[in-house]
Structure 1
Amino acid sequence: MRIAYARVSTDAQELHRQLDALEKVGYDKLIQEKYTGTKKQRQGLQQLLDIVREGDTVIVESISRLGRKTLDILSTIEELTNRGIVFISLKENMDTTTPTGKAMLGMMAVIAQLERDLIVQRTKEGLDSAKQRGVKLGRPKLDDQKVQDALKLYDEGNHSIKDIIRITGISQGKLYKEINKRKLKS
């Protein structure tokens, strides 16, 4: 089955240009949506991934229709390819069954890895810079008195966990952690 996928980011935008291009090459089923490409979890894309089967072909007007982020686009194409699904992008003339298409996929993988590595490097540099300026990193230390108040309310048995965390301002996870810590000491 040949499944076409078309997407624009907002309701104000039109799919006409994409639909015209897709109709020229033909398809058996069309999935279209109007939703931002910055989100990987999209109803139309999920529908596409749910219905395609090994041996099917997915056709898009441009690989940018799969998403905004190189990593998201690449992971979607890799998922399709690993499942035995042919991917065709008309604008980039990319077909994962051809040597050129496979090479383009490989180049995208290299670019995506570079993007990942640069993000990690910038994050590390930012953290190092903050440390040098004396910025304390990580979660702020919780006030011990709040923890003791929460445990006291818990021990009294008159309040629900939700009430205790609302009253004291500590998280549910922290409360349970402290309760369990006490149990281990006993």
Structure 2
Amino acid sequence: MTTYGYARISTKKQSIERQIRNILNYDNNAIIYQERYTGTKVSGRKEFKKLLSKVKEGDTIVFDSVSRMSRDSIEGTELYFELFNKGVELVFLKENYINTTTYKKALNNNIQLTNTAVDSILKGVNEYLVTLAKEQIKIAFEQAEKEVKDLQERTKEGIETARQQGKQIGQAKGKKLVVKKSAEAKEKIVKYSKDFKGTLSDVEVMKLVGLSRNTYYKYKKELREEL
């Protein structure tokens, strides 16, 4: 049985060293996988995919927080139960109420039936406790996703406020690509790229949005820093 740790940051303002330190404080022998400036989805994270290919039944993966695993509620919840069913222990240092050990207790610590008429009520209570545990897991990932959306909205509002105040945003006037077009292009990248909310590859998004390779990767890097 092996303990792994996974740490990632999306922007330069975040500290991956802090995450690693927290994981090693939990288990000093943890094998750390780390990556910087990643998107929210698992598909764009090479190191995490390597870890997922190695982990097996009885192993443990430690995260500093649920948002480091995924900031997509559907993807995160599905991956949680996929790993749980595989027999992998999941530990979230900041949200230990959804650790797999906690979820197991909800499944196993059922109220004993009495072979009386009261059993119909007790069965309902047991089912409710399991449902509640599942809902807590789902809510944790939904909150992580909400934080990203709130940040995107604040960024969008900040850009619009600056524009209304007459401030220069992005490229200066006279350049080939003006602010409005760059903002629209970024919105499409977020919408269609598999590294954000979409399903398309980089080449497909470049063709769809009509961007050069250099401009596309420049915008993609800026988006990752914003997220």
TM-score, with normalisation over the residues of structure 2?
0.44
Q: What is the DSSP-based 3-state SS (H/G/I as helix, E as strand, rest coil) of the residue aligned with 1:98?
A: helix
Aligned-pair identity in percent equals 35
Which stretch of the first structure deviates more once superposed, 91-100 or 29-38? 91-100
Q: Which amino acid aligns with 2:11?
A: T
CA distance in 2, matches of 1:110, 1:45: 21
Which stretch of the first structure deviates more once superposed, 17-26 or 5-14? 5-14
**Where do 5+ consecutive residues of structure 2 fail to align?**
107-129, 143-227
Which position in structure 2 is the counterpart of 1:50? Answer: 53
Which position in structure 1 is the counterpart of 2:33? Answer: 31
- Aligned residues of 1:56 and 1:86 also touching (Cα < 8 A): yes
CA deviation map 1:141-178 (0-9, x unaligned): xxxxxxxxxxxxxxxxxxxxxxxxxxxxxxxxxxxxxx
Which position in structure 2 is the counterpart of 1:106? Answer: 134
Which position in structure 2 is the counterpart of 1:136? Answer: none
- Total equivalences in the alignment: 114
When residues 3 and 34 of structure 1 are mapped into structure 2, their CA distance, relative to the original with a 3 A threshold, is same
Structure of larger gyration radius: 1
Pairing 1:151-162 to 2, within 5 Å after superposition: none
TM-score, with normalisation over the residues of structure 1?
0.53
Please provide the CA RMSD for this pair: 2.8
When residues 82 and 13 of structure 1 are mapped into structure 2, their CA distance, relative to the original with a 3 A threshold, is same
- Aligned residues of 1:10 and 1:35 also touching (Cα < 8 A): yes
Which position in structure 1 is the counterpart of 2:186? Answer: none
Which position in structure 1 is the counterpart of 2:68? Answer: 65
CA distance in 2, matches of 1:97, 1:37: 28
Pairing 1:1-186 to 2, within 5 Å after superposition: 1-10=2-11, 13-26=14-27, 27-41=29-43, 42-93=45-96, 94-99=98-103, 106-108=134-136, 111=139
Q: How big is the shift at 1:58?
A: 0.7
CA distance in 2, matches of 1:20, 1:110: 27
- Aligned residues of 1:31 and 1:48 also touching (Cα < 8 A): yes
